[in-house]
Amino acid sequence: MERNDIIDFKALEKELQAALTADEKYKRENAAKLRAVEQRVASYEEFRGIVLASHLKPLERKDKIGGKRTVPWNCHTIQGRPSQDNTTEISPEKTLFQPETSAEFYRDWRRYLRSGLERYEALLRLRGPKLGHLFQTDVGFGLLGEMLVVLADHVRPADQSVVLGILHSLASTGRFTLNLSLMSHTETESCKVLFQKLQAMSAPSLEGQGLGEQPGEFREEESLLQELLKLYQVD
């Protein structure tokens, strides 16, 4: 067997484990969504809470009440500053945002990217094709709205093409319409604001209007923007 034919079993095992973790998370959250619908929850926040807590397991008899707590009860919903017990500094290598699976993205998005600007720059670095590959099955509950809020808050004219590409890729992911319908009112409004900004950036200059000509690149972006307005159900 030649050197190039040697199989890296450790890499394969790591990739398989990441795929299994992502699949388990998808099935768990999907079951929680169906359970919340059957229970006819009264509000979106209650629905969101059920899905975010889907990873929790009931206590068993061997579990002690009142003992020393070593981990937060629901690590998926805790935000803000870390506790005083957690004083270990994270090295720059650990904070490098290069997820290879949707599970890694979901984990690092919440663990390392604390500010909106950090998340915005991370999305720009990944770009649309990479995001589309990561979330080809499903974006994951709550994540679509979070990304739209970040894009709306920080989009810049120089990034217009990249942002359009990101939006197009996200719209091509599995169960996109369902995830779009489950966004909160705040997230929906941010989506509208984002497209308002993109439309303003796409408006041709007065000089271009006077010449009566539009570059081919501008026409392509305008066509893509109109398509995205329909996909994201923005009036």
Burial 176-195 (b: 16+ CB within 10 A, else e): beebbebbbeebbebbebbb
Question: What are the distances in angstroms from CA 11 to CA 4, 28, 107?
Answer: 15, 26, 20
Tokens representing 167? 């939006």
Weakest mean pLDDT among 8-12, 176-180, 222-226 = 8-12
Q: pLDDT tens for residues 70-120? A: 555 455 544 544 444 443 344 444 447 889 999 889 888 988 898 999 999
The pLDDT of residue 64: 52
| pLDDT-based confidence at residue 220 (cuts at 50, 70, 90) | confident
- The confidence band for 5, taking pLDDT boundaries of 50, 70 and 90, is low
Q: How high is the pLDDT of residue 215?
A: 60
DSSP letter for each residue of 3-29: GGG---HHHHHHHHHHHHHHHHHHHHH
Do the beta carbons of residue 117 and residue 111 sit within 8 Å? Answer: no
Residue 121: predicted pLDDT: 95
The reported pLDDT for the residue numbered 68 is: 54
Question: Is-contact 195 228, C-beta < 8 A?
Answer: yes
How confident is the model at residue 193, as a pLDDT?
97
Q: Which residue has the higher pLDDT, 98 or 212?
A: 98
The mean predicted confidence, pLDDT, of the chain is: 78
> Is the pLDDT at 57 greater than 50, yes or no?
yes
Q: pLDDT at residue 164 above 50?
A: yes
Q: Which of 31-40, 178-187, 213-222 has the highest average model confidence (pLDDT)?
A: 178-187
pLDDT for 14: 77
3-state secondary structure of 43: coil
